[in-house]
Chain A
Amino acid sequence: MDGPATASEVIASEASASVAPPLARVPLVLNKRNFDWVTNRISGAVENPTPRWWWVAFAITSAIATFGLTCIGYQISTGVGTWGLNSPVGWAWDITNFVFWIGIGHAGTLISAILFLLRQKWRTSINRSAEAMTLFAVICAAIFPGIHVGRVWMAWFLAPVPNQYAIWPNFRSPLLWDVFAVSTYFSVSVLFWYTGLIPDLGTLRDRATSKIKKFFYGIFALGWRGSNRHWRHYEMAYLLLAGLSTPLVLSVHSVVSFDFATSVIPTWHTTIFPPYFVAGAIFGGFAMVLTLMIPARAIFKLQDIITPQHIDKMAKIILLTGSIVAYAYAMEFFIAWYSGNQYEKFAFYNRIFGPYWWYWWVGMLFCNTLSPQLFWFRWCRRNIFVVYFVCMCVNAGMWFERFIIIVGGLHRDFLPSSWGLFTPTWVDIWTFIGTFGIFLSLFLLFIRFAPMIAMSEVKIVLPEADPHYVPPEEHHPVTAGGKERT
């Protein structure tokens, strides 16, 4: 912002300091874009002819997804023995992948629900794609518990219905809580996402040039016409869904952590797990949001909507949650020592110096604890390449963390005679890579067929959306203070 130049302007600026805010906020949408620009730019990503890079990317991701699905088919038809699971490591990549993917989903709900309740208006630029990411991540997550129990045709045992011996599932089991938590989470996330999409589907319907597009967007827009009598209930529903999703997202990863915490395995049986898992989930999820959004904003030229300020704020959340996670790591070690329990102490010694030592040094120490500390520095938060590097570290690190918790806890338990190591098979590896194919294919389809940014919500944060907005005159007075607040 240009400071006052002449003496009279300085006087004018000081005179208006009492009314003007001392720190001008950087606008959330840069370059004074108007409503029409927002509509055109975001709808354009859906309406323009499919770019060649999209076909190339989709061919690659869908091929990977197909191979992953083939591995799942092979695993189902042959048996769980195609994986490297054996005694004592009965949970390994499968549950690691489950926790990894479900955790990624949490950032989407944090952005869409918790930041909404906290009135963080910058969320509007990223909430739609983050919510989509949530759905696709939960789909990937849901694959693993479904297939790792073996005999998927018995998956109905998970449902609250009696089996052929009239025995019901055990409602006191954390594994059943998990079924309810994850399925509720997915259902509510779909509702929240679709509720937000309705006005934007109306936009695509009204702009549609072909009959087929008009028909399908019209069907899913439900006849939305922007009536304020509708907005009144719509906003209340949106608020309530946000209010419901907020405790839900905290509960889901807490319940996931109960799967471990209610057992007696050293390193699992701890009370710190629920908050530790939730913070880790948001930490890993934000890294994945940035992993997807940084290329997307460049490809679709959305830099005026997803601004450096947005990336800066997400980096700060990664710093915050990363520091919470680092604290939890440290506290785990402290409690292991302080408890005086020899099995706990050994398990944590084994974590650093045991056969999986480098998982801890690389994954938990370097990727999760040290790399996000770069975000204390503004230069790092504003440098796309540093941000991307840290996000990639966190993506990898959070997978390593779950692997260390799960396999690290199991491979050396109470009796040295039952110790053993885990080695993944090619089916393990390709099933995991395959879920990335599924995830990215779904995300590519999403950005092709639905507006990846919530148009109706971004418009609200433009200054002219304010009912008391007065268009600036030609020579608007100098505002006080030159420092930008971000």
Chain B
Amino acid sequence: MITPSGNRVYGMAAEYPSAASLYEAAKQVRDAGFKRWDVHSPFPIHGMDDAMGLGKSWLSAVVLVGGITGLLTAAVLEFGPSSYLYPVIVHGKPTNFWTVPAFFPIMFELTILFSAFTAFSTMLTMNFLPRWNHPMFNWERFKRVTNDGFFLVLEARDPRFSENEARELLERTGGRHITVVHEE
């Protein structure tokens, strides 16, 4: 969608007075069948994922893979040198598999280390962050989103999006300062 001045439209956004009103609005937008939309709030609102029709984040599955990678890395790192590359008998401990209890601490630490880095980097990747420019930042009021502003935006790329219908939906759910947000 392009405005008469030639600006591409990102979507239509509205501000809500409270977390509770944004929560109610999200449920209505979900039930209206929108798919490309989002809410913005200064803090995570409890139950908002359900209100938006989003399931549980699958980040945990990726982190599991990261943790297993860390565990295997530690196993290779410890058994490789100690059993194959340069076995040295220290403390009278064996150099075969049965020395494994002495390897547990590092296995544990690397499992944690890899899981944590996976959690952090996957969170950013799944959120497409860092992204320093975004159409929502073009809206002056949106600065309040990190303070006390509650926003809902219907994106223009949603198949159900039309300017009139979007405006009507935002008005009906109690949105204020309804604004067309441009891409540039």
Binding site for B on A (CB under 8 A): 34-36, 39, 160, 162, 166-168, 170-174, 176-177, 180-181, 184, 187-188, 191-192, 194-195, 199-200, 202-203, 205-207, 218-219, 222-237, 240-241, 244-245, 247-248, 251, 255, 258, 455-457, 459-460, 464-470
Contact = CB atoms under 8 A, between A and B. Distances in A.
A245 B5 CA distance: 53
B49 A464 contact: no
A470 B20 contact: yes
A171 B18 contact: no
Contacts of B109: 177, 180-181, 184, 248, 251
A241 B122 CA distance: 12
Contacts of B47: 467
Contact of B57 (A236, A251, A456): A236
A35 B148 contact: yes
Interface stretch (B97-105, B157-165, B171-179): B97-105
Contact of B110 (A34, A180, A455): A180
Contacts of B90: 170, 172-173
Contact of B116 (A188, A202, A226): A188
B126 A233 contact: yes
Contacts, number: 225
Contacts of A455: 42
B14 to A, nearest CB: 15
Contacts of B134: 223, 225
Give the secondary structure class of A's interface: helix
A234 B44 contact: yes
A167 B147 CA distance: 56
B119 A467 contact: no
A322 to B, nearest CB: 28
Contacts of B113: 184, 187-188
Nearest to B106: A180
Contacts of B151: 226
B42 A206 contact: no
Given A168-B81, A230-B129, A237 B122 contact: yes
A230 B116 CA distance: 18
A251 B127 CA distance: 31
14 contacts: A162-B86, A166-B85, A174-B105, A206-B146, A207-B147, A222-B129, A229-B52, A234-B123, A240-B59, A241-B116, A459-B42, A464-B19, A469-B20, A470-B20
Contacts of A35: 42, 147-148
Contacts of B22: 467
Q: Name the residue in B126, B134, B136 with the highest tally of chain A Cβ atoms < 10 Å from its Cβ.
A: B126
A188 B23 contact: no
B103 A236 contact: no
B60 interface: yes
A431 to B, nearest CB: 28
Given A36-B148, A199-B146, A235-B44, A171 B102 contact: yes
A236 B123 CA distance: 8
Contacts of A224: 129, 146
Contact of A228 (B41, B81, B99, B108): B41
Interface string B81-100: 11001101011010000010
Nearest to A187: B113
Contact of B112 (A39, A188, A234): A188
Contacts of B169: none
Contacts of A465: 19, 43, 45-46
A367 B90 CA distance: 41
Contact of B127 (A162, A188, A233): A233
A181 B42 CA distance: 35
B106 A177 contact: yes
Contact of B108 (A203, A233, A251): A251
Interface in B51-99: 51-52, 54, 56-57, 59-60, 63, 77-78, 81-82, 85-86, 88, 90-91, 93, 99
B9 interface: no
Contacts of B63: 240
Most B CB within 10 A of own CB, among A167, A180, A237, A459: A237
A162 B86 CA distance: 10
Contacts of A229: 38, 52, 54, 127
Contacts of A170: 82, 88, 90
Given A191-B120, A223-B130, A236-B60, A34 B148 contact: yes
